Amino acid sequence: MIEVRNCVKRFGPTVAVRDISFSVPKGEILGLLGPNGAGKTTTMRILTCYMPADEGTVSVAGYDVATDSVEVRKRIGYLPENAPLYKEMYALAFLDFIARVRGIPASKKQSRIDDIIEICGIKEVLHKRIGEMSKGYQQRVGLAQTLIHDPDVLILDEPTTGLDPNQIKQIRDLIKEIGREKTVILSTHILPEVQATTNRVLIMDYGRLVADGTPDELSKKAKGAESLVVQVRGPEESISDLLTGIEEVTRLRLADSEEEFHRFELSVTNGRIAAEKVFSIAVQEGWTLRELRPESQSLEEVFYELTMGEREEQ
């Protein structure tokens, strides 16, 4: 359904997308994961024909984005980052505008809009101006706008950013629901997001693709990147020697020291066993242990592990 071959995009000296290739078969929900500035938005803008790639070929549903841009756009529903919408418009008038541009015949327009209102659950805000709605409802109107013409492909740029946990859950469910018959690409910089909604993940970093797999494969890889925070009182030198000596510890970093206490961040392969070993060493050495806790993974660390892993395999 979507084919990207050797795509490159530069903005002056910055290379936003460096030679990426991937394809998305019909019916897949693909997550594009990466930190800010990874090139997710740029990739999506190329797919949706907002801007052309400098090199490479991109096609959607068999149409090339460079030569058949209008045909491509007819087949895509796109929600740009932050869901930019016409704030002064009423939701109903906005959907009516989109339906007109999407070429929905006048006879079918009303029933189509009614269906979408139902699916997206926006009945209660229809007569509000979009700017007066909560962020969650704005996001729903943004999604509704992508669905009016029943497109084959949905492209959603960070659809849950800026929402509260309830709204996030609702939007994810909605995406899963409508993604059943469509090919979907959604981007995010939050790891759990892809696990919750997608069946395949591409990880981008510095404009490159660094990983490609199912969310399960990804989280297995990421398992190697658990971390522990340890704060102890004792001689810094021997603490760091002994902790590095633990088999499960792959990396050690001194985060801060205050008076006699030193805080270390450890990357570990098995958090539970590593924590036990840290504890018994501290008891043996007579260090005062003030803090010993596992820390949730930051995406950067997952990246670190993933990209290092890739390099070692090569």
Partner 1 sequence: MRNIFAVARREFQGYFNSLIAYVFLVIYLLLTNWLFFRPFFLNGQADMRNMFAIIPWVFLFFVPAITMRLWAEEKKIGTMELLMTLPIKDSEAVLGKFLAALGLLATALILTFPTPIIVSTLGNLDPGPMWGAYLGSILIGAAYLAIGVFISSLTENQIVAFIISIVVIFLLYIMGNDMVLFSAPAAFASVLEFLSLGSHFDSIGRGVIDLRDIMYYLSVIVFFLYLNIKSVESRKWR
**What secondary structure does DSSP assign to 55-113, as a single string?**
EEEEEETTEETTT-HHHHHHTEEEE-TT----TTSBHHHHHHHHHHHTT--HHHHHHHH
Residue 11 interacting with ligand ADP (CB under 6 A): yes
Q: Closest by alpha carbon to 126, among 148, 143, 141?
A: 141
Among 30, 32, 38, 73, the residue binding partner 1 under the rule CB under 8 A is 73
Residues 23-42 that bind Mg ion (CB under 5 A): 41
Residues 96-155 that bind partner 1 (CB under 8 A): 97-98, 100-103, 129, 145
Residue 188 interacting with Mg ion (CB under 5 A): no
Residue 34 interacting with ligand ADP (CB under 6 A): yes
Q: Are 129 and 110 in contact (CB under 8 A)?
A: no
Among 6, 14, 23, 111, the residue binding ligand ADP under the rule CB under 6 A is 14
CA Rg, the chain, in Å? 24
CA distance 307 to 16: 18
Is 79 or 201 the residue whose CB approaches partner 1 more closely?
A: 79
Q: Are 201 and 47 in contact (CB under 8 A)?
A: no
In the list partner 1, ligand ADP, Mg ion, none, the entry touching 88 (Cβ below 5 to 8 angstroms by class) is partner 1
Residue 241 interacting with partner 1 (CB under 8 A): no
In the list ligand ADP, Mg ion, partner 1, none, the entry touching 78 (Cβ below 5 to 8 angstroms by class) is partner 1
Q: Closest by alpha carbon to 160, among 176, 182, 147, 148?
A: 176
**Residue 74 beta carbon to partner 1: minimum distance, rounded to whole angstroms:** 5
Among 38, 58, 61, 78, the residue binding partner 1 under the rule CB under 8 A is 78
**Residue 111 beta carbon to Mg ion: minimum distance, rounded to whole angstroms:** 35
Sign of CA dihedral 83, 157, 42, 179: negative
Is 40 or 277 the residue whose CB approaches ligand ADP more closely?
A: 40
Strand partners, 24: 2
CA distance 144 to 41: 20
Q: Are 65 and 58 in contact (CB under 8 A)?
A: yes
Euclidean distance between the first and the last CA atom of the chain, given in angstroms as a whole number = 30
Is 256 or 300 the residue whose CB approaches ligand ADP more closely?
A: 300
Residue 250 interacting with Mg ion (CB under 5 A): no
In the list Mg ion, partner 1, ligand ADP, none, the entry touching 121 (Cβ below 5 to 8 angstroms by class) is none
Q: Closest by alpha carbon to 20, among 28, 36, 32?
A: 32
User: Where on the chain is the footprint of partner 1 (CB under 8 A)?
Assistant: 11, 45, 48-52, 70, 73-74, 76, 78, 80-82, 84-90, 93, 97-98, 100-103, 129, 145
Residue numbers of the site for ligand ADP (CB under 6 A)? 11, 14, 16, 34, 36-42
Interacting residue ranges for Mg ion, rule: CB under 5 A: 41, 81
